[in-house]
Structure 1
């Protein structure tokens, strides 16, 4: 088996290949052990051709411009995310447990100098932060943005998971920078 890095994306690629080969059902993305959960269906990266609507998300210091996002099961949504704040912010789709574990990883990023309050040091995000783990922040369900930057995520939602969107930069989630994703059938 290839020697994949220990990031969520590497496990996602491997899981997607295996599941896609074995099943004809839509492939789901699963949280990695590094995010504290295994086999939790949080959805999957979507295709631009399948997007049914676009949701614009604005991040400021320390809040999102909406508290709830409503989506339908199996809907593919394009998120256009903009950081209008003065600090680095994250938009991350996951469960509450995934966010709690990811906050520890984000703290490590700050401790290792990969993340300042207003700057991302991409070169430092590739260094080993322990046990071969890097924090390149390249997961398909998340973007980390410096002030004034924008990004997009295309995501297909599952039928039945309690999801949140959150900023896991240290202190931001605790200050209320999170919201619920409501799944409708």
Structure 2
């Protein structure tokens, strides 16, 4: 049984209700330590389905967050590389597999997504999300 949708608010949004998804964005990741695309623009309040496909032979992940939060988490991952991820803004994607994140970007600003497996973030496996403020 699927857990209830979390109402935890983060500075980069909150878990999205799959029934509220208005757009799906495909993001691929591979062993060149890059995402494609690596820049996204969304409107404040928009709920997006991110379909993450690992085209490489290594484990990769996508973690949404602020630059500071991702840097902090990357440091923790260096100490605990086999750490389990169960937050709705994180997806561990084994080789040749897909995972999905449904996310509501309800806060305007510049945010990041990155692979925090040790060495990947440092190698440039990071992308940028611009959340455009909604009109008053």
TM-score, length basis structure 1: 0.65
Equivalent in the alignment of 1:142: 90
Select the residue among 45, 51, 62 that pairs with 2:15. Answer: 45
Q: Distance in 2 between matches of 1:169 and 1:140?
A: 17
Select the residue among 35, 43, 55 that pairs with 1:64. Answer: 35
Equivalent in the alignment of 2:104: 156
- Structure number with higher strand proportion: 2
Q: Which has the higher contact order (CA 8 A, sep 6+)?
A: 2
Q: Distance in 1 between matches of 2:60 and 2:87?
A: 15
Alpha-carbon offset, residue 42 of structure 1? 1.4
Q: Distance in 2 between matches of 1:74 and 1:165?
A: 18
Alpha-carbon deviations, 1:125-170, whole Å to 9, x = none? xxxxxxxxxx320010010112111110000002323210111111
Does residue 167 of the first structure (1) align with residue 119 of the second (2)?
no
Q: Which runs of 5+ in 1 are unaligned?
A: 1-12, 17-27, 31-40, 115-134
- Structure number with higher helix proportion: 1
Tell me the number of residue pairs that the alignment of Structure 1 and Structure 2 aligns.
128
Equivalent in the alignment of 2:25: 55
